[in-house]
Amino acid sequence: MSGKLILRHDKAQNAGMDPSIIKEASNLIRSAINENAFPGATFLVARKGVIVAHEAYGDAVSTPPEMSRPMKLDTIYDMGSITKPVATATSLMILLERGKITLSDTVSHYVPEYTGGKKEGTTLCDLLTHTSGLPAWKPLYEVCKGREDFLHEICRMDLEYQPGEKVVYSCLGFILLTFILEKVMGENLGSFARREVFLPLGMKDTLFNPPMAMRERIAATERCKWRGRVLIGEVHDENAFGMGGVSGNAGLFSTALDLAIFAQAFLNEGEYGGTRVLSPLSVKLMTENHTEKLNEPRGIGWALKSKRGSSAGDLLSNSSFGHTGFPGDSLWIDPVNELIVVLLTNRVHPTRENDAILRVRSPFHNIIASSIVA
């Protein structure tokens, strides 16, 4: 680790990377846009504190045609599930450092109605590592009339397996975490994360429920049948929308540069620009494998690189951690190679019936990793 670095623009060669290979990654993104994998993309690559590529291609909005506009370097994207590590898990760790919670605390300690059957003994760590036994997803927005209804619906669900038995990625667990964290915080998750994490790090364009004044900078997502409109600046995830746009599973909006700053703070062991938001031990805990004997490696809020089938590709180190977002985003951090790769797209615009992004992420990361020559 090269000390506490601040991101700066410089030549790829000065970060030990081959610019001609990075150019091939740019070509891959342009080809994917031409093949309708997504309307547009912004990506950022940084190594050893050096931003070696920050590029934008395609359209931020393509439908309706009269509203079309190009993608830019500072375009704001719906982060989807990248909300989980960046906002939710990081906020939880701040509370942990302040002695407000522990990972072994039971859910029922904070939510007394979360009891019965397999639920007994479910911990915060189970929710954070997707080992709680909760179903992967339910369309709660169809039956919930207000925020508290989401909590009641989750509490009355039957678990699908014993907590700690296996990893099943569950947005419902992170919705449940929202209520627990806000009870401890005494405030909204969005306001806490912005004050304690984003603004201290200089992530000025990272927030929940962006105001109308920011709309012209935001990439469109789906033409939502339920809401009857193309979504621009309102969370794509229906359950998060039903939660008022602020939820532990989704709802965060951000830019490639802001995400890179957050990632560099993790490479800096919790600090950026002289401001510390997490202790080194918290960063270590979050990025360790907490599901070592189970079917999928998970950190605290983070996905860890698996040996096969990872969106991180094949060449990033086995210590890499990151996350993807359903609207088309990904963030991967490789501490061994001191590498940050942010790839943001609006692949659900205008429809989610498009999984071509799955054939882009791994090759993109492989090209970037192969450009490391020193």
At 203, is the pLDDT very low, low, confident or very high (cuts 50, 70, 90)? very high
Share of the chain above pLDDT 90, in %: 98
Of the pLDDT bands very low, low, confident and very high (cuts 50, 70, 90), residue 194 is very high
Q: Which two tokens stand for residue 154?
A: 């989750």
Q: Full-prediction pTM beyond 0.75? A: yes
Tell me 163's DSSP state.
T
Is beta strand 40-47 parallel, antiparallel or unpaired with respect to 271-272?
unpaired
| Proportion of the chain above pLDDT 70, given as a percent | 99
Beta-bridge partner residues of 42: 56, 344
DSSP 255-315: -HHHHHHHHHHHHTTSEETTEESS-HHHHHHHTS-S-TTSSS-B-SS-EE--SSS-TT-SS
- 117 or 316, which is more confident? 316
- Structural domains in the chain, CATH included, are 8-80+189-370 (3.40.710.10), 87-185 (1.20.58)
Reported in sequence order, the residue ranges of 160-261 that DSSP labels E, i.e. its strands, are 207-208, 223-224, 229-230, 252-254
Q: Judge contact between 257 and 45, C-beta under 8 A.
A: no
Average pLDDT, the chain: 97
d(CA 92, CA 189): 10
pLDDT in tens, 31-57: 999 999 999 999 999 999 999 999 999
**pLDDT higher than threshold 50 for residue 245:** yes
Whole-number pLDDT of residue 107? 98
Categorize the per-residue pLDDT at 195 as very low, low, confident or very high, splitting at 50, 70 and 90. Answer: very high
What is the arithmetic mean of pLDDT over 296-319?
Answer: 97
Tell me, what's the pLDDT at 1?
44
What pLDDT is attached to residue 307? 87
> What is residue 61's DSSP assignment?
E
